[in-house]
A and B are shown apart, each in its own frame.
Chain A
């Protein structure tokens, strides 16, 4: 079984986001990391490989992005992925990314494809589903557990009030929730050293017109300070609501 983990390159979650103009993210000083959901997927894929060495042949990561995202890819290799594929293009939108990843899967016949349920920057939650559709593969969303028992894959989904257990045959796309692995695996020194010599295959993008365009970004409004009104002066509250805020 060949596992493909699709990874997205996102700003570290502690980043203070700034924009240059209304359409462009200011990337100065941003620390880029593997999307947390993808990192957990990778961790689980590696756990499956460790526990089933005969069955899981390889774990590969795929990424759509420019050369500047290679440090993030190498981090995935340092964590333990065997190889990586980078589609050499900006990730224009979810449709574009899914189309590129579909070509990657077709070219190498991956069996189990893992996608984080969303990326922590755009939170679109659409790539996994679209990818399955492009491939005409089944997909399972909100997967919180993947196990291999007696050579068969079983999946766990969190559903309202309980859990759902599924089993299905490869190939398929699993859209993965947090909970799939306990903690992301930390790149060990040996892994970091080995990442130097692991291959990153470069693939040129296929022609795909993005379906969406970002018109502008807007920062949330600054929170106003809380005003306290003396409990003995309810009239003051009514006055503010009526004449200042004009909500009643």
Chain B
């Protein structure tokens, strides 16, 4: 590092990340252009007139460039100093949506701004939560191996998630679970992750298999484990009780907990989406919320997997090399709903095929690995935790969004970072990444 130019803002900034960022934003605008393009229109003027979505995204990108410059010009101490304040402001904004919120697409999570633009505080709260978590974990007195600290960290990340669920933004709420990765890096016991993923496997198994068959399989596994560990069990009677307890919990989960969650906790359409993932049909008549609704509101719409089907068709029709830029028939025919936002990956898959998708995903992977490397070279815990939070959020968005378009994950409305149309989303990711770059540029400083 060149100490003489220390005060220059661009000093020590990781240019690779900036390049990747720029490439991705450009790809994003082109993808939106592909979706919106109609032959015969003068694309150049419509790019500038601000009426089409790609033109708006271009404006957002310009705004984000300015915001990024500002972030790079600030002092990194600002973020450590104001982390908690930001967080508090974010929570307040989210609470404010319940009062002055604007209803867009069925979720009252937007605050109207001047000029027809709307702000989604839940998006911004990702940054503030990341900062707050970093701030908390970097405190000298915090020992993350203690249960109490873990609970506080959990509370910091889960409060915005709970508010998001109340706003009917399940997708955004799920994003906050990605902080588990950052916390895992900071010493969260691996057991929690293992138990969590085992629970996930069990839920999926419950969906796929008949209840009785699954019960028999679980019993067989338990018996097999007892058979394998019979010698140890002879020594330690306690082990047997542990195994039987686990078996009982498993059977209980598959018999009662999972049906309860699907019928009573989740909305009908959410259950339907999850069931359709594994190729099954969910009977909405069993859903309590749907029953409540049918009494008051209009009848439940017939469940279908139109989105996933069309999305898979669009991507699958791309083949190896794709149909070519602006030549995607599914894109032009508007077969995929919400293609400029959540299903933007389909336009890419159709136009550029497997090769395009693979290269595109490699760019993402490169960005993720680069951020992990940046994280690992930080001296301050604050910067490292923040960097891991950023990479976790990015990873979660990418993985869930792409998986849902190719039918590996149920549909939840979360955007593809830097690609999907949307000012709030783009601004959030810009801020996340450039705050990280600012912190990284100042990695020689010891931050709190």
- Bound pair: A and B? no
Interface, chain A (partner B; CB < 8 A): none
